[in-house]
Amino acid sequence: MPLADVPDLASFGTVLGFAAALEEACAGAARAAARTDLAERHAKRARQVGQWRRERLCEVVLQPLTGLDPRDYQPAPGLEGVAALADLEAGAARFYTDAAQRARACLGGLSRPFLRLAEESRTFAASLGA
């Protein structure tokens, strides 16, 4: 699912769906920027997010979420190559940090893994000069 098609982040399922779409977008941008190391890492992260969603979706009581807007994490239009990848990495870091803080009750045990993904994305962005 393209990032622009993600609905409002108002439930556990949509937060994890956006996370998977974000990881796929980062993997695609990394491939376009000839950063196969980051493309592979993001593909692995996308698989992990998908696994979390499959394992935990039935366990979670549907609680409404507020304060997460997918537009806040979209890449800037017109960027290409490493600049596009760096912008996506920065957005991913913001998303995972915000989701871990605002959706703590909903995410349950995924708050810490989300913070770990945020830190990795900040590191990836810094390695790209962002």
In tens, the pLDDT along 25-69 reads 999 999 999 999 999 999 999 999 999 888 776 555 466 677 888
Tell me what pLDDT residue 34 has. 94
Do residues 98 and 129 lie in contact, with contact meaning Cβ atoms separated by under 8 Å? no
**pTM score:** 0.83
Rounded to an integer, what distance in angstroms lies between the CA atom of residue 8 and that of residue 17?
A: 11
Cβ-Cβ contacts under 8 Å for 33 (sequence gap 6 or more) = 81, 82, 84, 85
Domains parsed from the chain with CATH numbers? 3-127 (1.20.1260)
From residue 64, give the alpha-carbon distance in Å to each of 12, 23, 104. 8, 24, 12
